[in-house]
Amino acid sequence: MIKLVNVWFKYVGGREWVLKDVNLEFRRGEVVVLRGPNASGKTTLMKVASLIYKPSKGSVVVNDDMDVWSRGGDYLVKYRRMVTYVSEKPVMFKGTVYDNIAYGLTLRNYSLSEVERRVYEVSRKLGIEHMLDKDVKVLSAGEKQVVSLARALVLTPAIMFLDEPLTNVDEDRRKTVINALKEFKSLGSGLVIATHLYEGLDEINPDKVVILKNGVVVKIT
């Protein structure tokens, strides 16, 4: 469980608060949809909750461990490995699709055979097993988005934060992605999805919809 307690956030050198006194909870097995206009703070909120950004004020509590940032070091990495954030604009490491999907597993020192098994399994689920040997330079924006989703799914995090996961994905592949997310949820993991494209996501049955405006949570339904 990840809990944001009275979280305020301002970028270094920034004047305005991007998040203002946010209190939210994200749990395993729960689907939360974050909605709000552009620049309402959705991406920042997800980056704070996934322990990429340190809140300027307030604390992030993981599994009742108060303020993981003050503990830092190995603890921070341990908690970061429980969650994964997938960006709206997918960034790729140099190399092949396989290299990209295997990256997080390699960091965790999985054996080569286990890495291979997991990469092939997730690639089959997302229908990208035919492109594993491709250089990422030749991928379309939609393909990159699916690869970045595979790169996160393969780690089976407790909670996954997805920023506009369907934006560049074409119609044919959208169904496959939604099915993979449904399966991910059925395994007991949590999903937090920031999106303006709600179409199709109702199939995942969100438990909670959070509306953000100017960095403030205005409504939770």
Spatial CA neighbour of 177 closest among 158, 156, 153: 153
Bridge partners (DSSP) of residue 193 are 33, 162
Q: How far apart are CB 78 and other proteins at their closest, in Å?
A: 9
Which residue number, 15 or 94, has a Cβ lying nearer to other proteins? 94
Q: How far apart are CB 64 and other proteins at their closest, in Å?
A: 21
Which residue number, 193 or 217, has a Cβ lying nearer to other proteins? 193
Contact 180/130 with Cβ under 8 angstroms?
Answer: no
Which residue number, 59 or 87, has a Cβ lying nearer to other proteins? 87
Which residue number, 102 or 217, has a Cβ lying nearer to other proteins? 102
Which residue number, 152 or 166, has a Cβ lying nearer to other proteins? 152
* CA 95 distance to own-chain centroid: 22
Q: How far apart are CB 221 and other proteins at their closest, in Å?
A: 28
Give the footprint of other proteins on this chain (CB under 8 A). 12, 50, 52, 74, 77, 80-81, 84-87, 91, 93-94, 103-104, 107-108, 151-152, 155
Contact 87/141 with Cβ under 8 angstroms?
Answer: no
Q: How far apart are CB 82 and other proteins at their closest, in Å?
A: 9
Query: Residue 186 is which amino acid?
Result: S
In three-state secondary structure terms, 218 is strand
Contact 98/133 with Cβ under 8 angstroms?
Answer: yes
Cα–Cα distances in Å, from 80 out to 50, 89, 127, 210? 7, 20, 28, 23
CA distance 211 to 221: 8
Q: How far apart are CB 21 and other proteins at their closest, in Å?
A: 25
